[in-house]
Amino acid sequence: MFTLTLVTPERRVIAGAEIEEVFVPGDRGELNFLPGHAPLMTTLRPGIVRYRLKGDSTVHRVAVSSGYAQVNGVGVNVLAETAETVDSLNPAEIDAALAEAEARLTAHDATVEELEEMTHKVEVARVHKELLSDSSAAH
């Protein structure tokens, strides 16, 4: 059995779902894990976790902001700062957050820390838009 668990500090998004495969947005590129994968620990960048449940051809998607993925003999554990499904996203809120972060990036009085934070917020908002776009294209 090969399972996927995805948690954030606030909630358990996926709890031990039996899967065929999972793709995670690794810090240095997308990683694909199948049953029998060697143990591994990696950091995550903002992106989309894609997975297929055992016996199902549907690809499920969850947007994550950052975190860690750990592969062991029984599956994959994803520890994400935030995780959003397409149902939990509001397009208007995403657009507003993206506009605000992009405007702050161009501010001349922003500190290095603020610039890093706003860059991260832009990346996360773009991932959310990608998840919404993928979902509407699938229908």
* Region of poorest pLDDT, from 27-36, 79-88, 129-138: 129-138
Give the contacts of 100 (CB within 8 A, at least 6 positions apart).
121
Say if residues 52 and 21 touch (Cβ distance below 8 Å).
yes
Sign of CA dihedral 5, 6, 12, 13: negative
Model confidence over 67-103: pLDDT tens digits?
A: 999 999 899 999 999 999 998 898 999 999 889 888 8
* Mean pLDDT within 26-55: 95
